[in-house]
Amino acid sequence: MSHSPSTPSQPLSLIYLDANATTQVLPQAAAAAISTMETLFGNPSSSHISGIQAKQIMDKTRKQAEQVTGAGQGKIIFTSGATEGIQTAILSALTHAKKSLDSNKNYTLLYGATEHKAVPESLKHWNEILEINATVKAIPVDNMGQLDIDFIAKEVPNALMICTMAVNNETGVYQDIALLDNTIRANNQDVAWMVDCVQALGKQQLDLSKTSIDYAPFSGHKLYAPKGIGYMYVRENAAFTAFIAGGGQESGLRSGTENLPGLAALSTIFSMLLGESETAFAPVETLHLFRQQLVNALTQAFPNIVFNHHFENSVPTTLNFALPGFSSKEIMDLFDAANIRVSSGSACSSKVTRSFVLDAMGLPAWQSESAIRMSFGPAMSQEEIDNACQRIAFAAQALTQSCLTLDEVNTNAEVITDKTELDGLIQFKVGGSCTWLYVDSLSKSAVIIDPLPEVAERLKTLLNCRGLTLVAVIDTHGHADHVSCRENMETEQLSDQQSDSLGWPENTPCLTINGIVYHYINIGDKWLLKVTTPGHTDDSISLLLCEPVKDSTKPLSVHYAFCGDLILMGSLGRTNFPCSSATAMYVSLQRLNSLIGPDTLLCPSHDYNNEFTTSIGAEMSVNSLLAQVINNDIYSDDFALQKARMDKNIIDEAGSEIMCGALLLSLIHISEPTRPY
């Protein structure tokens, strides 16, 4: 029973809405596993009574799996999980295909562009190991996540294997298996076909024997069984090569002593699916009602919510959404604070934030980078859904209605009230772009740097709720990838202040350092120093938050350097715009370094890899070109040539935000985030 959000002094019980990643082991399944370990622990391969009793458990589970899967004359082979099943299927198909390869023919291996990364990575692995040398191709999807049937019809005649999935793990989108079957077999009767059925188990009716699917892997931990147990369907007469050889278990198809406790737990789950147990899963109709209840709660709580998939072709247990102006980390932190577990579009990586699934569907970059997945299983109850909806409303109230916000500085991601002191630096992200808010709590003053329109209302709310005085709102340069909301904010918040084209106030005091005049403004007891740093654009500036300068001959004491797109994490700002100049950037890099040194925290206007801040010293260790500039090991002309080569790595994809810097080669190959299987 969940505690009411109206009594925050009581700890909130956990609401788990990340079932597509894994599920809790149901008590009945856990009890079956424990009982098997304690009383029916025999080896199924032994011929004595204990072994026979153990084998009975295995045989029962296999028959249930056949029923649940609609296996017909196909085989059910128990595995450690989906990844092993995927390996077995691909190894079997490619080993068989290799026997009849035509050296004069070009072959392909096809997989859905939204497939779990376990599939394409395994295809590439075995393609190389077996020296097949086929071209691995992704099958495109449309904006609803549906596979391109025309592409399949064109490419499958030359394919050795095609891999699709029944239900997508990020969006819940399901494929039309009958349409795929007809298309594939009309164009290639012999191609091996694997369908990842992991997310379909318990959510869709399966009758695999009525299809031409050759292989279908399943995983127990996605449906309330323990981790480490799974199974795969193999069509009758489909090619098969054992992935694990040894003692000959599973009729020689998969060696290794069987995971009997896991099988006993899986049998319990199958009994619930088949209606053989007193405890049954919620029917699909009820799951649809649960989803609609969650949708209603989310829409009421967050009126601007955008759902990243269409419900008409998605299973009812998955919701994928984004909130304009909020990063996935902010929303996850918010839900975590309310003790609700959801996942982001990049659950396994803090360095790469995009969802390749949503990218493949052609969704805007901000949706891909801000995606939240909410998923549940068929054991979900009405009470849990009611509690979840109540908690969602509470979380939204904490975020928007009571001037509450997430404490970005606090890594524990606690929710703070409007009475909590706001002090220091806060980053707001939209896609890869950053807005910076610096607040001096003593003077109740604030400055906003590179304001994004998506976070404008949040910034206004913060200023008003905290009683903050906005000193200035400043852009570090004219942005090519978005329209700044600076002018609107100036009109509303600083109507009496005159400023230049980037928002720097007129008639500010100045000082001279090494013969160069710098202007500054006061933010509480600190200075914000303006430094001209052209290169990325001809109007680029950097802003240094520093201690007041009492002696201009001594080094500055700089807390933060807002450097725009001069230096980015793992790169330098691009210099191939008409208003760019690589030689000017060379001078700007040396000037900035002379003022702030190697250790001052840099706050760029883009943070593509979720790193928050960096420093010149840290960037020099990974960016040899920057190191050469700072160490005076290169002249400006040579720098311009190398910078032009670096900029050639920039790829501006249609529908995505303009990249303001090219990632270095050391960062280009960061693996995409994958959800665990």
Question: Tens of pLDDT along 93-116?
Answer: 999 999 999 988 999 999 999 999
In this structure, of 174-188, 539-553, 663-677, the range with the lowest mean pLDDT score is 663-677
pLDDT digits (tens, 9 = 90+) for 377-389: 999 999 999 999 9
The yes-or-no verdict on residue 2 having pLDDT over 50 is no
For the residues 153-172, what does the mean pLDDT come to? 97
pLDDT tens per residue, range 275-291? 888 878 999 999 999 99
* pLDDT at position 73: 96
Question: What percentage of the chain has pLDDT greater than the value 70?
Answer: 89
User: What mean pLDDT is predicted for residues 59-70?
Assistant: 95
Question: What is the mean pLDDT of the segment spanning 390-413?
Answer: 56
510 is catalytic: no
Helix axes 49-69, 260-273, angle to 10 degrees: 40
pLDDT interval class at 9 (50, 70, 90): very low
pLDDT at 345: 60
* Predicted pLDDT at 547: 95
The pLDDT-based confidence of 469 (bands split at 50, 70, 90) is: very high
Q: Is the pLDDT of residue 673 over 60?
A: no
* Active-site position among 163, 348, 563, 603: 348
pLDDT for res 24: 93
Which pLDDT does position 481 carry in this prediction? 66
Cα→Cα distances 498→258, 300, 359, 527, 531, Å: 77, 41, 42, 19, 19
Mean pLDDT, rounded, of the chain: 87
The predicted model gives 47-71 an average pLDDT of: 88
Express each pLDDT in 321-330 by its tens digit.
999 878 888 8
Q: Give the residue carrying structure tokens 């703070």.
A: 416
What does the pLDDT read at residue 162?
98
478-507: pLDDT as tens digits: 877 667 888 888 888 888 889 999 999 999
Map out the domains of the chain with their CATH numbers: 15-22+283-401 (3.90.1150.10), 74-253 (3.40.640.10), 496-668 (3.60.15.10)
Report the DSSP beta bridge partners of residue 322. 306
669 confidence band (pLDDT: 50, 70, 90): very low
Cα distances from 656 to residues 141, 312, 604, 612, 653, in angstroms, run: 17, 26, 20, 21, 5
Q: Encode pLDDT of 624-664 as tens digits.
A: 999 999 999 999 999 999 999 888 877 655 445 566 766 55
pTM: 0.75
If you average pLDDT over residues 264-278, what whole number do you get?
A: 92
Output b/e per residue, 594-616; b: 16+ Cβ within 10 A.
Answer: ebbeeebbbbbbbbbbbeebbbb
Look at residue 585 in the predicted model and tell me its pLDDT: 95
Is the pLDDT score of 622 beyond 70?
A: yes
| Better pLDDT: 409 or 577 | 577
- Packing angle of the helix pair 27-39, 260-273 (nearest 10 deg): 140
The pLDDT value given to residue 399? 65
Q: What average pLDDT does range 400-410 have in this prediction?
A: 41
| Tokens found for residue 443 | 């003077």
Q: What is the mean pLDDT of residues 258-286?
A: 91
Task: Report in angstroms the alpha-carbon separations of 482 from 57, 499, 535, 576, 656.
Answer: 62, 21, 19, 17, 11
Cβ atoms within 10 Å of 469's Cβ, excluding its own? 12
